[in-house]
Amino acid sequence: MAGLGDIVQKAFYLGVGLATAAGEQAGEKFSSIGTQAQKLADDMVAKGEITTEEARKLVDDMIKSAQQQNLNQAANNNSTERAQKSTEPRRIEIVADSEAPSSPSQSPENVSDMRKQVEALQEELKRMKNS
């Protein structure tokens, strides 16, 4: 099954490529937000509306809020994916116990009594069918 190995390898490389591209895009967006915030702060400092320290703080706050929004969006996407997965039926695996019966209803005497009752009921059913 060399074909399956190739498919798995290609899927892995696709995932790595997508993660790299997403990281680059996020980095570009954060840098553009930073430059826009810096231009806004520089304009406000030039007009005398805020001081240089206030401008630095404003830029830092804007970048932090953008990063926080990005994290919140990622968390929302993950919770949406989990909600979609939870609507799918769960797989249940039944494993047989190899231990001796623990309840009295499963003791060997009760099993033989139950077999006798089943045989009696089968005979009665045959009689009813023949009548």
pLDDT at 105 (0 to 100): 56
Asked whether 21 and 54 are in contact (CB, 8 A), the reply is no
According to the model, what pLDDT value does residue 98 have? 62
The CA distance from 18 to 58, in Å, is 33
In tens digits, the chain (131 residues) has pLDDT values of 457 778 888 888 888 888 888 878 877 777 777 787 778 878 888 888 878 888 888 778 877 887 787 777 766 666 655 655 566 667 777 777 665 555 555 666 788 888 889 899 998 888 888 87
| Structure token pair of residue 68 | 């926080």
Q: What is the CA radius of gyration of the chain?
A: 35
pLDDT for residue 55: 81
DSSP character for 105? G
Amino acid (one-letter) located at 44: M
In angstroms, the CA 76 to CA 84 distance is 12
pTM of the model: 0.36
Neighbouring residues of 30: CB distance < 8 A, sequence distance ≥ 6: 63, 66, 67, 70
| Whole-number pLDDT of residue 20 | 84
What's the pLDDT tens digit per position in 34-63? 787 778 878 888 888 878 888 888 778 877
C-alpha distance from residue 36 to each of 50, 51, 59, 64, 125 (Å): 17, 18, 9, 14, 87
Q: Rounded CA gap, 87 and 11, in Å?
A: 26
Distance of alpha carbon 127 from alpha carbon 121, whole angstroms: 10
> What's the confidence (pLDDT) of residue 83?
58
Give the residue extent of every domain in the chain: 7-85
